[in-house]
Structure formats: C-alpha cells, structure tokens
C-alpha cells in the first residue's frame, strides 16, 4: 500500500471505495443526531466504478464526505418533517463518469434543495443570513487554538462502531478527516467553500445545482493528471516572468 503513495498523493484513488467508506461513516454520524431508529437513505453507486486517479486521499475523503453529509442530512430532515417520517427516504445517487483527462462524481439527492436566501452565499465562508448561528457553532469547537482534530463524536451507537472501525478515516489521518467527523448539528458554513478550494487546487472544480422543493445535484470534477497540473501552473508562471 505504501508504494502506491508519492508523498501524500495516493496514485490509485478509487471513487467507489471512497464513497462507500465515507458514506457508511456519514450515515453513522447522522444516526447519532437523529437516533438509530431513523431510516437512513441508501447511497447508490453507478457508472465507471473501476476508475482510478492520483489524489490526496484526505482531500478527496473530505470533499466527498461534505457532499454526502449535506445530502444525507437534507434527505433525513425532509423525511422527518414530512407526512410519512417512518418510511424509507429516497436514495442518494452517486454517479462516477470517467473521461480521458478527468473523473466526474455527481451526487444527487431529493432533500428539498437550497432555500433562495441561502443560495447566493453558498460558497462564502460563514456569510449570509445564518452567519450569526454559524459563528456561535464555531465557538463550540473544542481546542480551536490547536487543530480541528479534537472535533470528534463521543458516542457512536453500538451497531455502527464496527462499521466505523472498518470504514473510518484512513491510516493517513489529517485534520480534514477529523473535521469530517464533527457532529451533524454543528454547522460551520465552511464545508462547501473549503471543498471547492481543495478541488480547484488540483485543477478540478465543484459545482452545485439546486432545484428548490426537490433536491440538489453536486458535480465534483477531478483531474487525472494529478500534480502535473501544479507543475504546469508553476512553469507557466515562471515563463510569464
């Protein structure tokens, strides 16, 4: 396994494996907040599931984790507030599409979409009509003077402990993987903006399309060139001097 790493870059990232592993962890975390009796939406995978690409694994896990957290939580909350709260909620569909130079991961949910008053501030760090509450949540993060790694869920339901042990953060843990484990009710307003920063750093992109009243489609594009993009950018900057 170690030979497949170049520094922090994992040469054979597989979207299917990451989605399955992170998805189980997200479902466990959501269950902590809403109770183990709450029906969880199924996370369905389709597309080019064997596609691999070089990427920093902790970055990919964080981005996918944030997208799945948003979708699972939105679907669960909408189901709980609906007419049939005990019925199985609609599934979340994750589609992987491989092209010659990039891989696209689409996350589609039926969580009701994003309210219009929030949409203009979607990619802003802690701005918008809910910024006051987000800043209050930020003060609840323990030991912020150090790192974000202390932010953990203290109590996991017994039926999910084995799942988390098998599918939790990789051996190459980082503050990002720990940040992904924060309680679902502790919303900071930085998940999507930070995910886009990491996606664009490797010449990728992150876009989200909301259909208010129905759901959201998130599109994560990942370059298969890996750190060659960074080298090309540096060379272009040098040539411009």
According to the model, what pLDDT value does residue 122 have?
87
pLDDT of residue 85: 87
* H-only helix segments in 114-227: 131-138, 158-167, 175-179, 191-201
- Kindly list the strands in the beta sheet with 52-56, ordered across the sheet, starting from the edge strand earlier in the chain: 5-6, 9-14, 52-56
pLDDT digits over 131-166, tens only? 665 555 555 555 443 333 333 444 444 554 454 455
Q: What is the pLDDT of residue 226?
A: 63
Q: How is residue 109 written in tokens?
A: 């949910």
Q: Which domains does the chain have, with CATH numbers?
A: 2-240 (3.30.565.10)
Q: Are 103 and 15 in contact (CB under 8 A)?
A: yes
| 208: Cα separation from own chain's centroid | 13
Helix (H) or strand (E) holding 21: helix 15-34
| Tokens read off for 182 | 């924060």
Residue keyed to tokens 């890996």: 226
d(CA 52, CA 120): 34
Alpha-carbon distance 29 to 51, whole Å? 28
Strand (E) or helix (H) holding 53: strand 52-56
pLDDT per position as a tens digit, 89-134: 999 999 999 999 999 999 999 999 999 988 888 888 666 665 665 5
């Amino acid at each position: 396994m170690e030979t497949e790493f170049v520094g922090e870059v994992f040469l054979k990232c597989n979207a299917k494996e990451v989605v399955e592993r992170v998805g189980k962890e997200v479902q466990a975390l959501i269950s902590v907040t809403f109770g183990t009796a709450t029906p969880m939406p199924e996370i369905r995978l389709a597309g080019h599931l064997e596609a691999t690409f070089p990427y920093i694994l902790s970055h990919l896990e964080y981005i996918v984790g944030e997208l799945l957290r948003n979708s699972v939580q939105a679907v669960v909350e909408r189901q709980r507030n609906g007419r049939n709260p005990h019925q199985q909620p609609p599934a979340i569909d994750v589609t992987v599409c491989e092209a010659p130079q990039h891989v696209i991961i689409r996350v589609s949910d039926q969580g009701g979409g994003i309210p219009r008053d929030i949409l203009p501030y979607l990619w802003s760090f802690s701005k918008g009509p809910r910024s006051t509450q987000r800043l209050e949540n930020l003060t609840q993060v323990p030991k912020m003077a150090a790192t974000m790694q202390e932010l953990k869920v203290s109590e996991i339901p017994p039926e999910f402990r084995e799942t988390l042990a098998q599918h939790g953060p990789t051996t190459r843990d980082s503050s990002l993987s720990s940040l992904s484990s924060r309680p679902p009710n502790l919303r900071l307003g930085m998940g999507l903006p930070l995910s886009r920063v990491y996606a664009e750093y490797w010449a990728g992109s992150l876009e989200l399309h909301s259909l208010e009243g129905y759901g959201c489609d998130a599109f994560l594009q990942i370059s298969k060139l890996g750190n060659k993009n960074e080298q090309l950018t540096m060379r272009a900057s040098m040539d411009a001097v």
